Structure 1
Amino acid sequence: MNDENLESRIAYRNHLLTKWARKYPADAKRVQDAHARVWYFRGDPEEYTCLCGATAEEWQLVILDNWEGKIILPYSEDHWDYAAFCTPCAVDVFERRWEQLLGR
């Protein structure tokens, strides 16, 4: 994957999250709090390896059994519902979820 394509995908993901965070600030705060909890209990994602073998860079909600919040801003109170991913893989997870939401 070329870096320019990855950068545009990251920018688009961040644009969508910023848009939804502005529209639903209370939910955005809950997402931030949930991620802070994950960092507190599980540590820096860079201490983990992504499924692809790269050093992880961010936490991503992966178990959606107990998720709360808006569909685009899901979060979980359980820090074990998150996994550490490198940014490219985290963007892939986000895009797959986004496509599911749009019914593609």
Structure 2
Amino acid sequence: MGRRHDKAAVRCHRSVSWGPCLRHGWKGAVYFKVDENTRKDFDAAGSHALEYHRQGKPQALKSYMEAPADVLEDDETLVQWAERAYRAAINSHH
């Protein structure tokens, strides 16, 4: 876990972009890539899917869920959840 400009930067592997598994800063929230194995933990934490509006109608990108606040506040837990998001992203390409 590295710190830059008071924001956490999580790295799982140097050669892999975090773009597919982590969306940071969407309306001030952090979103992780989810799959059928990890979605239940996000649901249990009360997280919601990334939402946006298209032509005035709300849409949900259900493959990304908001990281719970308690996860973001604990570095060790954040790394664990980020690693799971990384695996979900990698597995979604197979």
Alignment TM-score, normalising by the size of structure 2: 0.35
- Specify which structure has the higher proportion of helix: 1
Q: Determine which structure has greater relative contact order: mean sequence separation of CA pairs < 8 Å that are 6+ residues apart, divided by chain length.
A: 2
- Specify which structure has the higher proportion of strand: 2
Alignment TM-score, normalising by the size of structure 1: 0.33
